[in-house]
Chain A
């Protein structure tokens, strides 16, 4: 029940949004995350978004991982 997945927001109406992953659509609530826009990725847990997933953060995250693996050369 705790499974949370990243979904892409495709439509927003007030605090309700449609979000999808690999073509599967879900209706979610976005009350807890500020300034969600169509095209954003959000982490969705039991029907609501808990956080936004930003492209630049994901890239930074990957860079930090690369630092770790590079150090092991």
Chain B
């Protein structure tokens, strides 16, 4: 489907040439982990002049999951040795506050922790192990929640009684608002996440321009998409013409995906939620509604979050907020590498520190 043309559109060199001539300082935030990876991989940062900075935002689900939640998961594991925990692979190495503890470590010590590609695989595991209880760790934003919904519906329709969801799903808008409300927030424009856009629709990002007057472009994930997006944002800045543009018309529609939106509303209630680095954000998380309590791991296992004020040298929180670049963390590349990650921003393949380490540090 014209993929190559989006990777390298005709005459894209003209855009690059134009961008190279810009000499004012501009900071653009990309909000999606996949954009972070695509930008790093494609070498786009190297094509831009020094003064145009691309900063990663709170778009990597593993990275924004707070240590309190990681600790709760690890405790759940430790206390219930018969449980089967199912999770997306990225969560395995995230360290808790107890030094050296992670899902991977607990698995090595005998806990039954299984990596799944889709949430439906987790229900399958429950079907095949009816004498055991199975918990699925539901993390991710608007694009991932539908997978959890499929799993929930599968469990409901098949009367599965040993399947539980620990919903830590999060919403993008409240997090962006929280960042924008910070007094020292100095981002000039946003590359909006295209696939979140496919779900919430173009209109889901309208607040960025209407309320916060930030140039914003919804972007696809090919190198050409991103360069065009950056160009459009800069054009808006230069011409003082703030608007919401949709560069990813082939996927993102005005209203988004109605089916997904309705199902999210049916099964989930919006609740306040904790984010790494940012703290508690009002109405930023999704928990299962009371009617579906039977499938709720939080109720079944009485999961409560224990506040921890432990400070560490890991500056993931500041990386997520776009305050520092990964290499400004004193541990980066020395004590913290993908093989030996100290924080989730290095653990997750979509994390800003991992992307920086892999593609940009030399």
Main secondary structure of the interface of A (DSSP, over half): mixed
Once the chains bind, are A62 and B6 in contact (CB under 8 Å)?
A: yes
Q: Cα distance A29–B120 when bound, in Å?
A: 10
- CA distance in complex: A55, B1 (Å): 7
- Could you say which of B1, B88, B121, B249 has the most chain A C-beta atoms within 10 Å of its C-beta? B1
Chain A residues with CB under 8 Å of B34's CB are: 2-4
* Contact among A1, A8, A51, A59 for B89, CB-based, below 8 A: A1
Contacts of A58 in B (CB 8 A): 1-2, 250
A24 at the interface (CB under 8 A from B): no
Binds A, one of B70-78, B137-145, B204-212, B316-324: B137-145
Check: B5 CB closer than 8 A to any chain A CB. yes
Interface residues of A in 38-73 (CB under 8 A from B): 41, 43, 45-48, 50-51, 53-55, 57-62, 64-66, 68-70, 72-73
State which residues 222-251 of B face A: CB under 8 Å: 224, 228, 231-232, 247-251
Shortest distance from the beta carbon of A48 to any chain B beta carbon, whole Å: 6
CA distance A62 to B10 in the complex (A): 9
B199 CB contacts on chain A under 8 angstroms? 50
Contact pattern, B 142-176, Cβ under 8 Å of A = 1, otherwise 0: 01101100100000000000000000000000000
Distance between Cα atoms of A6 and B1 in the complex (Å): 8
Selected contact of B150 from candidates A34, A43, A48, CB within 8 Å: A48
User: Which of B11-19, B49-57, B94-102, B338-346 lies at the interface with chain A?
Assistant: B11-19
B259:A34 contact, CB within 8 angstroms: yes
Nearest B residue to A31 via CB reads: B150
Query: Is B11 within 8 A of A47, CB to CB?
Result: no
Interface string of A1-24 (1 = CB under 8 A from B): 111101010000000000000000
**Interchain CB contact under 8 A, A62 and B5:** yes
Q: How far is the CA of A43 from the CA of B249 in the complex (A)?
A: 13
* B247 and A64 within 8 A (CB): yes
Across the two chains, which residue of chain A brings its CB closest to B147?
Answer: A46
Q: Known contacts A2-B34, A69-B15; decide if A47 and B1 are in contact (CB<8 Å).
A: no
Is there an interface contact between B11 and A2, defined as CB atoms closer than 8 Å? no
| Contact between A68 and B147, CB atoms less than 8 A apart | no
B315 close to A (CB within 8 Å): no
A55 to B143, CA, bound (A): 23
Please tell me if the beta carbons of A6 and B15 are within 8 angstroms of each other in the complex.
Answer: no
B195: chain A residues at CB < 8 Å are 2, 4, 43, 45, 50
B62: chain A residues within 8 A (beta carbon): 1
Residue from the list A34, A54, A72 in contact with B14, Cβ < 8 A: A72
Report the Cα distance A59→B252, complex, angstroms: 14
Residues of A within 8 A of B249 (CB): 57, 60-61, 64
Chain A, Cβ-Cβ closest to B196: A2
Closest chain B CB from A29 CB (angstroms): 6
Instruction: Given A31-B150, A60-B249, A65-B228, check contact A50 B11 (CB 8 Å).
Output: no
Q: Please list the residues of chain B having a beta carbon within 8 angstroms of any beta carbon in chain A.
A: 1-3, 5-6, 9-12, 14-15, 17-18, 32-34, 60-62, 88-90, 117-121, 140-141, 143-144, 146-147, 150, 195, 198-199, 220-221, 224, 228, 231-232, 247-253, 257, 259-260, 263, 350
| A residues apposed to B, CB below 8 Å | 1-4, 6, 8, 29, 31-34, 41, 43, 45-48, 50-51, 53-55, 57-62, 64-66, 68-70, 72-73
Provide a sorted-by-A list of 28 A–B residue pairs whose CB atoms are within 8 angstroms: A1-B144, A2-B32, A2-B34, A2-B61, A3-B34, A4-B195, A6-B3, A8-B1, A29-B150, A31-B259, A32-B257, A33-B257, A45-B144, A45-B146, A46-B88, A46-B119, A47-B117, A48-B147, A50-B143, A50-B146, A57-B249, A58-B1, A58-B250, A60-B249, A61-B250, A65-B6, A65-B228, A69-B15
Given A47-B147, A48-B146, 12 other A-B contacts at CB below 8 A?
A: A4-B195, A29-B150, A31-B150, A45-B147, A50-B195, A53-B251, A55-B1, A58-B250, A66-B11, A68-B231, A69-B9, A69-B12
